[in-house]
Chains A and B, each alone.
Chain A
Amino acid sequence: MTSASPVPATAVPEPVEKGNSLWHDAWLRLRKNKLAVFGMVALAIISVACLFGPLLSRYGYEEQNLELGATGPGSAHWLGTDTLGRDLLVRLLFGGRISLAVGLAATFVALTIGVVYGAVAGFFGGKLDAVMMRTVDIMYSMPFPIFVILLMVLFGRNIILLFVAIGAVEWLTMARIVRGQVMSIKKMEFIEAARSLGLGRRRIIFRHILPNVLGPIIVYTTLTIPGVMLLEAFLSFLGLGVQPPMSSWGVLIKDGAEKMEEFPWLLVFPGTLFSLTLFSLNFLGDGLRDALDVRSSKD
């Protein structure tokens, strides 16, 4: 991937009064992409189900029924129950809340740090840029997944720490992308025009440059969410993520894998739902890339 190479911003050649049409075009292109639409619809359904599903269920996610034990899918429990007799569907939807929340929150952390850092480095350039990007280079070469594991083991499984730790790992690429884009845009005439009108640096960065970098930022954000969710599930699978009685998809998959010999549905359903979500996010991200990125939508 040559994402670091400067790409002309999509919005630039358009006349001012047609500013919206570019996003409209992108939307039309996106709608034509069946897989991306599938991803969007699936994500919408999954999010709504996770948010409101547990409210409609007869069962609580902690509600045990030890006499019942583990039962397969049936009419009382659509997706069956686990060894403590807890309804798997409700637990899945509850776990989904956590997984999605971690995905969104950690991505937000990464997004904020990455965009600001990259924009500052790219805009000011020179020595400041050299120092900032060298720092990113050095951080790139560090074994971050290992640090995250270490942090989670040492400081206990704190969900806030989880957001911060994952977000702190993922901002590096965002910073690089934004910097490259900003550097190519700041040389363009309309920025010079803005400067000659006497606008301040902050206004130029946030009002004139960043909106033109929005495309790559959106695409990369969409593709970061599945990566983050994967990292959370990976930690949970190692027993380092969310703690019981809370659960996430990673925790459910871990529990399912331990009991799959007798109760395979405990692994199959969480695994399927999690994979489906990652699928949808990746499809959507790919679709957005094609719809927003001039270069790749050409061929």
Chain B
Amino acid sequence: MLRFISSRLLQSLFALYLVITATFFMVRFVPGGPFTAEKAVTPEILRNLEAHYGLNKPLWQQYLDYLGSLCRGDLGPSFKYPNRTVNEIIADKVPVSAELGAISLAVALTLGISLGTLAAVRRNTWIDYVASSFGMIGISIPTFVVGPLLVLGLAIYAGWFNASGWYGPADRVLPSLVLGIAYAAPISRLTRGGLLEILNQDFIRTARAKGASEFRVVSRHALRGGLLPVVSWLGPAVAGILTGSFVIETIFQIPGIGREFVNSAFNRDYTLVLGTVILYAVLIMALNLAVDIAQAWMNPKVRLEA
């Protein structure tokens, strides 16, 4: 197990290095710099600015400098926000996105697993059909359609919520509902599929034969294996909740890291772009690793193969 984790860890570190390098050079080879948009910059000031941020050094030197400070956990100064470091900006914006993501994930898991379980246990009844169509609807209607429509109906017409903003608890309801439902749909489909496969197996029949109640059979015996597909799907999906939040943060004007990332790319704020990409990459890799470990723990077969 330890060997398995360490080899995965090494692989992730290598991938992370590739991501950093690719992004660093991709951003630099694009026309336009962080200071091209500002009008009143004379060549002298531009030179001073570039000298201040080390942009006048050769590119490879900048690259090594960046890697060096990165090892010390320093993501550098922002080019667009004077006197602010990328670390500060990220520390500022991440809690907002994390809160949105956490609430949405809770909504998605609760809704998805219970609907999927209901559908599997009551297979081919109207309950199954209702739950399954919910899954299909949730997969097919994108968040950027559901979001504005809910805003139109519940905020603008009914007036129950604010159309945008991120102040009180009520402002959390619509965004996390939209994001949560989008992820509940695939979870419910995976849960249903996974459970149906497990419910056909011998050990379930044994449990039933021993007189275990249906509730116990499902909750204690079937769900552990039945949720395996959900778990392996969750790693990339949680990362998707973050990218999905680009849209949600745009619709509801939430000051999170997703919006900041898009803006920083538009602004050619090199260090902020790199900082956010690194943040996402680390997060995704950590989640994938966590999923691999969780899978090994839940499924002895995987554990042995590793």
Contact = CB atoms under 8 A, between A and B. Distances in A.
Interface residues of B, number: 51
Interface string A125-149: 0000000001001101111011101
Contacts of B148: 253, 256-257, 260, 267, 271
A70 to B, nearest CB: 16
A152 B190 CA distance: 32
Interface stretch (A55-63, A197-205, A278-286): A278-286
B51 interface: no
A240 B246 CA distance: 12
Interface in B1-58: 11-12, 14-15, 18-19, 22-23, 26-27, 30
Contacts of B193: 1
A131 to B, nearest CB: 13
A153 B152 contact: no
B142 A257 contact: no
Interface residues of A, number: 44
A279 B145 contact: no
A254 B233 CA distance: 29
B298 interface: no
Contact of B265 (A2, A149, A226, A233): A149
Most chain B beta carbons < 10 A, residue from A142, A226, A254:
A142
Contacts of B23: 147, 150
B234 to A, nearest CB: 13
A230 B186 CA distance: 15
B243 A271 contact: no
Given A1-B229, A275-B141, 9 more contacts: A142-B19, A143-B243, A153-B266, A154-B27, A256-B148, A267-B145, A278-B139, A282-B139, A286-B136
Interface of A: 1-2, 134, 137-138, 140-143, 145-147, 149-151, 153-155, 226, 230, 233-234, 237-238, 240, 250, 253-254, 256-257, 260-261, 264, 267-268, 271, 274-275, 278-279, 282-283, 286, 299
Interface of B: 11-12, 14-15, 18-19, 22-23, 26-27, 30, 136-137, 139-142, 144-145, 147-149, 151-152, 156, 190, 193, 196, 200, 229, 233, 236, 239-240, 243, 246-247, 250-251, 261-262, 265-266, 273, 276-277, 280-281, 284-285, 288
